[in-house]
Chain A
């Protein structure tokens, strides 16, 4: 199936620093990608929709100035957590839909574990 990669797979940073997470669709193009956040023992929460060539759409309650999203190309979206704080520690996952036949199937990246000290 289609492959979506994320980099880095884990990152530890100090409070107040910024962290960039990359999401790549390796063998297909994605005009839209999605970013999720998952806290321990909880389900995935949609944060934002990343659109190639236009601004991202953020879900209610997600600060767009804190979580900067850039969809630089048809295969790359980046999420930058600015001025990270311990409460931002979480598992960040991206997904991209692959169009095919009569349905679009979403493929997820392996996730990035962010720990803010």
Chain B
């Protein structure tokens, strides 16, 4: 399984755009990139998933360059409620494949 590297923490203010970059240099051809959000004492919540280029949904965008060795989660106009830990995971998307979590990025949003 590809190892991921993310910043340990980031700080932002309400209304700003936040970009969290994840490095995954040894990503395999069959690997997908998935981001999860976790609040204290809750299970992780799926945010977005992608394979290449750009993916956008109602809460975030995911940018993946052509070499796929990194990815950037973009949160537009964050609010206080976006304060959480964000995990970048790389794994093959096959049933039976467990997700291995790294340390994640703790995002703190202030007013």
Contacts and interface: CB of A to CB of B under 8 A. Distances in A.
Interface of A: 1, 4, 6, 31-32, 34, 36, 43-46, 49, 51, 91, 93, 95, 97, 99, 102-111, 113
Interface residues of B, number: 23
Given A43-B101, A43-B102, A46-B100, A31 B95 contact: yes
A44 B95 contact: no
A49 B36 CA distance: 20
A95 B8 CA distance: 24
SS class, residues of chain B in contact with chain A: loop
Given A44-B101, A103-B32, A97 B95 contact: yes
Nearest to B32: A103
B103 interface: yes
B93 interface: yes
A2 to B, nearest CB: 9
Contacts of A105: 34, 46, 49, 93
Given A43-B103, A111-B41, A99 B95 contact: yes
B101 A110 contact: no
